[in-house]
Amino acid sequence: MTPGERVGGAGGAKPPGVILDEVSKFYGDVLGVNRVTLNIPPGITSLVGPNGSGKTTLMNLMTGLIHPDHGSILMRGISPRSPEALMRITGYATQYDTAPRWATGFTFITTGLLLFGYERAEAEERAWKALERLSLTEAATRKVAAYSKGMRQRVRLAQAIAHDPELLVLDEPLNGLDPLVRAETIALFRALANEGRHVIISSHVLQEVDLISDQVVLIANGMVVAEGTIRTVREEIHEHPSQYLVRCGNASDLASRLFSEDHISEIKLHDDRMGLLVMTRDREQFARALGRIALDGHRIDGVVPADENVDALYEYLIGGE
């Protein structure tokens, strides 16, 4: 493989998506993400959920910084356990607001590119281009540690795109950007997505991303609450106010566990006997109860908020914690 060559490249067959199959991750006995199954096509996909819902965990799993306890992940056909192949086509801008003390914006990105095997001259040229795309050329020779928060956010973005990746994973990339830069950045995401790349971004504010996303994945308490285009997600939310559909292994067992919770008002066995329709007065408590039950070893395949109205979900996502 020569530098710059793409794995699962854009030419020819349609590139495979980002596939998560029943992925779970626990931190000790704290639930990180639970049985997440996703198939993300190219384009801009937003992971939306309140702080602590598992967005960063999911992104770290996708990029191999942490490993799943159960389930498997394939990123355009490559396992995150093979960083040598995966990171060549992947750029990940983390939320960790750190940079090596010695690094200026320019040396920071150049050094990263050297690890891709680029000659120094090419690495410097690419670093300069990436800085240009994020309007950071003026600050290029200053220490990253001396940047403002927004500039550090952008230099991490520049680093993530510098090697021209097929697959971008960006944790809260719009956080801390002023409106003008934000518009430029969104335009950049759009341009990258139009080239057939994956651009996976996270946000805890739905309004921030609903207009720019091709797909939205709503996450709460480590579980996928809804996914699809923003329109289908909204419609789905409109139709069934105040009700959840819980997919699970042993429905009657789960029903008896849930009934002891006092915020549950009604439980109906789903027609196919593989799930429950649950009415709850308190979404938060319900989600927490499900988390506890999942930790106890019950198989919970999925939770679909069959009834939330948009306002309630907005409040949930925006007002979160």
Binding positions for another protein, rule: CB under 8 A: 1, 27, 32, 51-52, 55-57, 60, 63-67, 83-88, 90, 92, 94-96, 98-100, 102, 111-112, 114-117, 171-172
In the numeric block, which tokens belong to residue 180?
Answer: 């003008």
CB of 174 to another protein, least distance (A): 14
Contact 316, 266 (CB under 8 A): no
Q: Which is nearer to another protein, 111 or 137 (CB)?
A: 111
Alpha-carbon distance of 257 to 76, in angstroms, equals 39
Longest dimension (CA), the chain: 67
Q: Which is nearer to another protein, 107 or 309 (CB)?
A: 107
Q: Which is nearer to another protein, 64 or 275 (CB)?
A: 64
Q: Which is nearer to another protein, 25 or 35 (CB)?
A: 25
Contact 166, 75 (CB under 8 A): no
CB of 62 to another protein, least distance (A): 11
CB of 55 to another protein, least distance (A): 7
Q: Which is nearer to another protein, 67 or 281 (CB)?
A: 67
CB of 316 to another protein, least distance (A): 17
Alpha-carbon distance of 204 to 309, in angstroms, equals 18
Report DSSP letters for 78-136, one per residue: B-TT-HHHHHHHEEEE-S-----TT-BHHHHHHHHHHTTT--HHHHHHHHHHHHHHTT-
CB of 135 to another protein, least distance (A): 22
Tokens 């690890």 found at: 115
Q: Which is nearer to another protein, 37 or 111 (CB)?
A: 111
CB of 290 to another protein, least distance (A): 20
Q: Which is nearer to another protein, 168 or 304 (CB)?
A: 168
Report DSSP letters for 177-207, one per residue: --HHHHHHHHHHHHHHHHTT-EEEEEES-HH
Q: Which is nearer to another protein, 150 or 228 (CB)?
A: 150
CB of 118 to another protein, least distance (A): 10
Question: Going by C-beta distance under 8 Å and a sequence separation of 6 or more, which residues neighbour residue 182?
Answer: 174
Rounded to 10°, the helix 105-114/149-161 angle is 20
Q: Residues, the chain, total?
A: 321
CB of 114 to another protein, least distance (A): 5
Beta strands in the chain (DSSP E): 18-27, 30-40, 43-48, 70-75, 90-93, 167-170, 198-203, 215-220, 223-228, 244-248, 264-269, 275-280, 300-305
CB of 111 to another protein, least distance (A): 6
Q: Which is nearer to another protein, 206 or 248 (CB)?
A: 206
- Beta bridge partners, 34, equal none
